[in-house]
Amino acid sequence: MSQRPARPVPVAAVGQRSFDLLGLGMAFVLAVNAAHLPWWLSLALAFALGWRWWQRRQRAGRVPGWIKLPLLALLTLAVIVHYGNLFGRAPGTALAIGLLILKLLETESHRDVRVGVGFTCFTLMTALLFDQGMVSTVVVALGLLPALATLRALEPAQAPASVPRSLLSPLALLVAALPLALLAFLLVPRLSSPLWGAPSRDQARSGLSDRMSPGGFTELLTDDHPAMRVSFDGAPPPPDQRYFRAYVMARYDGVGWSYRDVANLPPAALDVAQAVKYRITLLPTHRHVLPTLDVPIDAPAGASMRRDRVVMAARPVDDALTYTLSSATQYQLEPGLDEHQRRWLQLPAGFNPRTLALGQSWRQRYGNDDAAIVRAALALFHDGGFRYTLAPAPLGRDAMDDFLFDTREGFCEHYSSAFTVLMRAAGIRARVVTGYQGGYWNKLGDYLLVRNSDAHAWSEVWLAGRGWVRVDPTAAVRPERVSLGAAVAAGDQLDWYHGDWLQGFRNRWDIVNRWWDQAVTGFDALRQRSLLTPFGIRDTDTTTLGVLLAIGTTLFIAIGLAWALLRRQSRDPLREALRELERKLAHQRIARRVGEGPQHYLSRAARTLPSQREELMKLTKCYLDLRYAHDEPPTESVHAFRRAVRDFRAKNVVQ
């Protein structure tokens, strides 16, 4: 006899509460990664997520394949078109989050939900590939709450609860897991580099480049992220001496300035009159240049000094780097410059004729008095109707002519570039220097905080008998840029930014960020190996770390197990709730007899109180399910039973 084919076992549809919690977790993933995704992709995925949530509330069921497959192909094509490929941190993150949202379109069974929870936790961690700050880490940790709540909602006999109440139990689990997480953070052996490799160059936060053109600093000047922190041996220099040199740019092509690395020549001669020693912690820039207080005397370990006193590291700064060095605050830089050296006078032909004519007219007027020509240029910026703004008008082919004679508005790049071109047109050797200027002195932490928004460009001119002299033409237009900082110089354009209360908060909060960078993100393999130095162990190898991790994990599990057993023995919430119900029934002369089981007792009480029979039978069924159907009854269901007992009011028995 032939056997009939077995019928497929129907898969139970997942409840709406579990689906809503899973959707909440996916929405959280999309929100924390939105800053790293194209705006149109974030908007499209948010729409798909909202539509799926609405569609399932109308009618449960998977979205048809003829909708899912085109969406999958469209997502892949969009990522390839935008990023150029599917590989790398940014395109991989975008594709993973898109696939996560599309997974919700076919989520209907318990298995689908569990797969979705695992995928949600995985994509949530991608936010840490872009930012490992304390706030980002805490936000990512909180993003685990909806995922854990979803798994709890899948457990049988779960009582209905609001979304905030559903998140309380996962929050307690996260708090309980913190000691084990700390143990793993300290003892799990660390790799010398991340599994995903070094971040790409286009993700460098510190946007200082070896090329500068008027308007190129705009994004950098509005970036509030820290660039470096500086500690001084002794009192810090005054604000007008807080110039941190990065690149010295000589070549001008009519559009912008560029730096040429001269590594085979000794550093320019420097006569030091006064010096200061300091230590810089530079956040990742993914470049070789090391900003130094102008002008560095020597190069730190692992770096070298170029001809123009520019310090270059041997490797790109892909991780936070701390280096110590000394710089001159009063000096003569290269006073014996070769008079025949033409590099600092070169200008491209066919650009900015009006600017060249103005510089040449100053030479004719002032003769050999170079200092007078410098003063004339600064007077032009001060009295010529120029305005400091972070949103200047665009410039044409003859950018310096447009700036000096037409728009007359811009920021440091415009003024330093125009000033240097004017000086060269007048026959004075000049160059552009880019770096940082100013910063916020944090009295609580005793360090100078320099942000990306403190990026600055100034000029240096060579004067006979004095050498290279720093000239900041921006200060002639807006002195507050040097004395009070970039935010104040922006005036009402960033009025919200430089309020006293906000600056005070930002400075104090940076102490927390500094501690986090040093203690958490800066905890590398080298620091891990020296973890046991206070106990006389100079170098902790991998075997020792593994043994300590095993011992610590065992102790943690043992303590948790002992606490759970003691808590279970010392307190039984179900038994307490049943005793409270017995006391209420005893007031109606329905006392529990010796040896009488709870089912028989509550059934007898239901017969004695016919008006409350249905309510008592529900309490009986709930108690028996919680007591005998689970090894460990769900906490939410136990709380619901206790609330039902508290709300129960036994009515008088009619005699």
- Residues marked as catalytic: 412, 456, 472
Beta strands 409-410; 270-282: pairing state: unpaired
Decide: 145 and 174 in contact? Cβ < 8 Å: yes
Would you state the structure tokens that stand for residue 92, as one six-digit string?
């991989």
In one letter, which amino acid is 444? L
**SS3 track for 491-521:** HHHHCCCCCHHHHHHHHHHHHHHHHHHHHHH
Neighbours of 524 (CB within 10 A): 14
Decide: 103 and 115 in contact? Cβ < 8 Å: yes
The per-residue DSSP string of 196-256 comes to T-SPPGGG-SS---SEE-TTTTHHHHT--SEEEEEEESSSPPPGGG-EEEEEEE-EE-SS-
Residue among 348, 377, 340 at smallest CA distance from 369: 377
Would you state the structure tokens that stand for residue 444, as one six-digit string?
């609580």
Which burial class, exposed, middle or buried, applies to 644 when counting CB atoms under 10 A from its CB (0-12, 13-18, 19+)? middle
Residue where the block lists tokens 């004695």 = 608
Decide: 391 and 493 in contact? Cβ < 8 Å: yes
Residue among 144, 157, 111, 176 at smallest CA distance from 21: 144
Q: Is 307 helix (H, G, I), strand (E, B) or coil?
A: coil
Return d(Cα 448, Cα 436) in angstroms, integer: 12
Decide: 89 and 203 in contact? Cβ < 8 Å: yes
